[in-house]
A and B are shown apart, each in its own frame.
Chain A
Amino acid sequence: MSIFGLAFYFTFGGNILVQWGVIPGTRAKHAGSWGASFAFIIAAAVAAVFDGLLFRYSLTPMGLESIAPITFALFVFGAYAALRALFAAINKPFIDPFDDNSFQMTLVLYAAAMTAGQCFSSVWLLLGGGAMAAFGYLAATRFLDAIMERLDLEPVPATFRGAPIRFISAGLMALAFSGVDASFFSRISG
């Protein structure tokens, strides 16, 4: 599996299922525009580059790769504190970004940062890893949502209704991405 695949599966195969609605009664509403989605991909890619460079030039030379989660936490909490301070400095009310989606957003950023640890060779790979993590998020929240709406109209056996068919649908989509990963991304990133 390539680093792009790792980033994709972490966000797609994992935590986004929670928001996407595998859990009964928590199917999320995705009102964001495609412009916002694009901005989100850019943000994830930039985060990947930042954290990747930090990992490469600060942690690795000192042999401190193991503390990568702590540096990421400091990065996230530090960015949050900086944002609060900025709003306080310009005397504007601070709108707390830690809403219901913040958990998934943080995970996407972490997936991007995580892949950065393996992308030593190129900034382009860091950008690609971050973008692919964001793409995994969007695939789960947009494409699979459409599949779910279609499945609502299909005569699914009672045993498989709900979570089982959603997991299996996600599995089939993941299988499709595995083909793309093996034939395209693996050749780019190794």
Chain B
Amino acid sequence: MGNENRTVTTRAWAAFVGLTPLLVFSNGLLIGLVLGMTFLVVHSTASAVALLVPVSFGQRRIFAFSMAGAMIASSVCATLIRIIDPLLFESSFTRVFLAAYTVPVFNAAVVPSSMADRERAWENMARGLGYGSAIVLVGLVRELMASGGVSIAQATNPSVFLPVMAQPAGAMVLLGLAAAGFRVATSRGVDR
């Protein structure tokens, strides 16, 4: 693997690992959908604000504006969840607020340094969609492994099949196995 590809892989891996707080708390399909949707909105807001604010503001101010936008977006999402389902809000609001404090959102809030990077900024939206899907997928797999079934309803599946998968430890073990599986599938090792 060339140095450039290795750097890209490392950055992508860094961003994915930065999602771990959300992946740890995504222990079911419903909460995964909530967190994934919130993350997508927050990530898109951060990247859009970073592009829309004039470069003359300076990198630090743009970052502050982008993060403020991301936090407002997470608040809006929390409000929507509260309107739609107050019980779901009560059980998930602390996790929803985390979305603005993850590495990918921080990366999206940094203004692209070159014009070429600015022109490719739409890729941030695609990244957000990918990360959001990963959060939903992890929630689905963990619920399936923990209870042997999947349901969109709240708290209908007791964790009787493999209960540890519903715990944070299960998320990390799952991520470890996924990383090993990814390595086998691609047959190219990543440096320690």
Give A contacts to B, CB under 8 Å: 1, 6, 9-10, 13-15, 17-18, 22-26, 65-70, 72-73, 77, 103, 106-107, 110, 114-115, 117-118, 158-168, 170-172, 174-175, 178
Contacts and interface: CB of A to CB of B under 8 A. Distances in A.
Interface string B79-110: 10010000000000110011011110010000
Nearest to B180: A164
Contact of A24 (B22, B24, B94, B192): B192
Given A18-B103, A162-B192, A114 B94 contact: yes
- 5 residue pairs, one from A and one from B, having the closest CB atoms: A14-B21, A167-B176, A171-B172, A175-B169, A168-B176
A16 to B, nearest CB: 9
A17 to B, nearest CB: 6
Interface string B49-80: 00000000000000010011001101110110
Contacts, number: 138
Contacts of A24: 10, 13, 190-192
B17 interface: yes
Contact of B75 (A67, A117, A168): A67
B169 A171 contact: yes
B167 interface: yes
Interface string B118-152: 00000000000000000000000000000000000
Contacts of A171: 169-173, 176
Interface of B: 10, 13-14, 17-18, 20-22, 24-25, 64, 67-68, 71-72, 74-76, 78-79, 82, 93-94, 97-98, 100-103, 106, 164, 167-173, 175-177, 179-180, 183-184, 189-192
A178 B71 contact: no
A17 B180 CA distance: 17
Given A73-B71, A165-B176, A167-B175, A15 B103 contact: yes
Contacts of B64: 77
Name which of B82, B102, B172 has the most chain A CB atoms within 10 A of its CB. B172
A115 B101 contact: no
A103 B18 CA distance: 11
A48 to B, nearest CB: 13
B75 A18 contact: no
A162 B17 CA distance: 13
10 contacts: A13-B171, A15-B18, A15-B102, A18-B14, A22-B17, A69-B75, A70-B68, A160-B176, A168-B177, A171-B171
Contact of A164 (B22, B82, B179): B179
B191 A13 contact: no
A68 B97 contact: yes
Contacts of A6: 94
B41 to A, nearest CB: 13
Contact of A66 (B75, B168, B171, B183): B75
B3 to A, nearest CB: 12
A110 B106 CA distance: 14
Nearest to A161: B192
A178 B173 contact: no
A66 B189 CA distance: 44
B29 to A, nearest CB: 19
Given A114-B97, A162-B192, A168 B14 contact: no
